Amino acid sequence: MDSNSAISAIVVQADGHYQAAIKKYKKIGDYLQTATYENENDKKKAEEVKLSAQSNTALCYLKLNEHSECIQVCDKVLELDSKNEKCLFRRGQCQLSMSNFDEAMKDFQEVLKLNSSNSAAKQFIQKCREEMKAYHEKEKQLYASIFAKMAKQNEKNETQATNSDAKTNEENKNEQTTTTTTTTTTN
């Protein structure tokens, strides 16, 4: 069994125990960070294993719906390997789940640049477009509702002001009539 298969086996062995798998992947990363290598070939293999461990850590966070953590791990992997298709895809999934539609779209499109036959990325781009459209429609309805309430409140305030002005005018007329009548009777 090669090292990448061993790493993948941890996820399978974890069988839903993603937190335990995350701890194991971190141990692998820590060990590989401090290890010394006899030659460049060993160092290169260690980097590949480290990337696999981090990528699988991101998968565990994704399965746990810990999207911010998943994005952070994917960012670390992508710093080392900007063309890591799995981490781009996983980060896109998290961005979509967090309604960061533009960021998700960028990640899925980058996946397609790397692998134009990735049907899952195509499906997620479509899903992203649909959710973005639904979000904008919902936002539009929300603002329409807010503005309708504001207009209704303004209309109500204007009606009250008009009624208040009418009462004040009527009171002033009554006062003037009373004053005029009093003045006339006094003379």
What CATH number is attached to the domain comprising 55? 1.25.40.10
> 100-104 — which CB contacts under 8 Å span 24+ positions?
101/128, 101/131, 101/132, 101/135, 104/128
pLDDT more than 90, % of the chain: 51
Domain containing residue 118: 3-125
Structural domain contains residue 175: no
Annotate 103-122 with DSSP letters as a single string: HHHHHHHHHHHH-TT-HHHH
In a domain, 54, yes or no: yes
In angstroms, the CA 84 to CA 70 distance is 14
Whether 143 maps to a domain, the answer reads no
Instruction: State how far the alpha carbon of 132 is from the alpha carbons of 103, 118, 121, in Å.
Output: 12, 21, 16
Give the per-residue pLDDT at 108. Answer: 97
Instruction: Evaluate whether residue 28 is within a structural domain.
Output: yes
Q: How far apart are CA 5 and CA 1, in angstroms?
A: 6
In the prediction, which pLDDT does 14 show? 47
Residue 172 domain flag: no
User: Is residue 158 in a domain?
Assistant: no
State pLDDT tens for residues 51-95.
999 999 999 999 999 999 999 999 999 999 999 999 999 999 999
Longest dimension (CA), the chain: 123
Residue 43 has which token pair? Answer: 């160092």
* Residue 67: Cβ within 10 Å count: 19
Among 78, 139, 142, smallest CA distance to 114 is for: 78
Whether residue 148 lies inside any domain: the answer is no
The predicted structure's pLDDT at residue 3: 58
Residue 31 has pLDDT above 50, yes or no: yes
- State yes or no: pLDDT of 117 exceeds 60: yes
Q: What is the dihedral of CA 59, 63, 69, 74, to 10 degrees?
A: 20
**pLDDT given at position 136:** 82
Q: Considering its fold, how many domains does the chain have in total?
A: 1
CA distance 131 to 39: 50
Q: Is residue 171 part of a domain?
A: no
The pLDDT of residue 15 is above 50: no
